[in-house]
Amino acid sequence: MKKIVTIVGARPQFIKAAVLSRIIAQNNEIEEVLVHTGQHFDANMSAVFFDEMQIPEPIYNLGINTMNHGAMTGLMLQKIEEILDKEKPELVVVYGDTNSTLAGALAAKKMNIKIAHVEAGLRSFNMEMPEEINRILTDRISDLLCCPTKNAIKNLKQEGFDYFNCKVIQTGDIMKDAVKFYSVIASEKSSIITDLNLEQNKFVLATIHRQENTNSLEKLKTIFKGLEGINKKMKVIMPIHPRTKAILEKNNLKFNITFIQPVGYFDMLQLLKYCNLVVTDSGGLQKEAFYNKKACIIARQETEWIELVENNFAVICGANSGKIENAFERFQNVDLNFDKPLFGNNVGDKIYNEILSIL
C-alpha cells in the first residue's frame, strides 16, 4: 500500500485535510500519516475536537510555535525531515500558505519525495505578506498543484509553470466540501445563536486579525471606526482574535461593537449561516461567507479570491471606514445570486484521484 504524509499546522488546514482523509479512509488504497507542526496553538484542539470533527488525531505533534518565522520554519524542516526519513512516504501533502506548508514541502523536496500542494496558484501580489512567500516557494517545488480557481491556473501560467516538470490541475476549493459537510453537524452541535440571542439576518459578523492591520494602530482604528458606523444600523459581532485583543488592551482602545471570545468551527459556521454579511481580513472566511450565501467586505488592500470581487459578492475596502460603511449600505440594497459555480464541486474526490495518478 502506498503511503503519504500530510503536514498541517493550523485549524483551517485540519478542516481541509479532513475532507481528503475521509476519502482516503473510505477507499483503503493509501496509508496516511498525519503530522501536526503545532504552528497555531489552539486550546480547542483536544481529543473532543478531533472526535467531533471526525478527523484522525495526528500521529506526530511537533509543538512548534511562538517563534520567529526563520526559527519556526527551520525547526519544522528539521523535525519533518526526521519523520519522513522514518515513515518513507511516496508523497507529502501540504495545504495553503503557512510556515508549516513551506517547511513540509522543503523537507520532502530535499529528500526527493513527491509533493502535492492543495490551494496552489493563489496570489495576493503582496510580497510583504509571509503567506505570499510561502505559497510561491511551495508551488515552485511541488509535483502536483491542485488549483482552486481559473485565476490560480492563470497565475501559474504567467509564472512559467507550463515549462516546469509538474502537473497543474484545477480541482476547485476543498473548503467548499468542508463547509457542506460540517454545516449539517454544526446545526446540531452549536447553540451560539440562541446563547447570544441573535436574530437571523440582523447582525454583521466581523473578524480582524492580520498583521498588516493589527501592526498599524492607524489602520486598526480606522477599520473599527467603520465597524462602529455599521453597528449604529445593525449589531456587529466580533469573535476577538488573541492578537487583536492584546493590541486593543495594550493601547486602551475601546470600540462600540459586541466582542465575544474566539469560537470553534461549528459556532463560526452557525454565525455565518445566520448573519447578514461578513467584514473580515481573513482569506478563508471570504469563501465561507460565499458558501453561506453572504456578501463580504474585505478589510485588506487585496484578495487571493478575486472571483468574489469580480462577481460582486465581495468588495475590497482596505482600512477605510467610509468604504466599509458604504459597502454595508450597498449590500443591503442588492440581490445577489450565490448559485454561480465559482469554486467547483466534489473537490476532495478530484484531489484524491489526482494524487493516485502520480503515486
Half-sphere exposure of residue 93: CA atoms within 13 angstroms, side-chain side: 31
User: Which pLDDT score, from 0 to 100, does residue 177 have?
Assistant: 97
Give residue 42's pLDDT band: very low, low, confident or very high (50, 70, 90).
low
The 10s digit of each residue's pLDDT in 90-99 is: 999 999 999 9
**Radius of gyration over every alpha carbon of the chain, rounded to an integer in angstroms:** 20
Give residue 322's pLDDT band: very low, low, confident or very high (50, 70, 90).
very high
User: Which pLDDT score, from 0 to 100, does residue 211 have?
Assistant: 85
How far CA 230 is from CA of 142, 222, 223, 257, 276, in Å, comes to: 43, 13, 11, 9, 12
Q: Does the model's pTM come out above 0.85?
A: yes
> 108 is written with which cell numbers?
520532502
Q: Which of 36, 40, 117, 209 is catalytic?
A: 209
Residue 46 burial (CB < 10 Å; 0-12/13-18/19+)? exposed
Is residue 117 annotated as a catalytic residue, yes or no? no
Which residues have a Cβ under 8 Å from the Cβ of 89 and sit 6 or more positions away? 3, 4, 5, 33, 113
pLDDT at position 310 over 90: yes
User: Which pLDDT score, from 0 to 100, does residue 238 have?
Assistant: 97
Across the chain, what does the average pLDDT equal?
Answer: 95
pLDDT at position 46 over 70: no
Which range, 8-22, 89-103, 208-222, is most confident? Answer: 89-103
Domains and CATH numbers, the chain: 2-173+344-358 (3.40.50.2000), 188-332 (3.40.50.2000)
C-alpha to C-alpha distance for 270 and 187, rounded to whole angstroms: 7
Q: Which sign does the torsion angle of CA 152, 156, 157, 158 carry?
A: positive
The 10s digit of each residue's pLDDT in 234-268 is: 999 999 988 899 999 999 999 999 999 989 899 99
Q: What mean pLDDT is predicted for residues 183-205?
A: 97
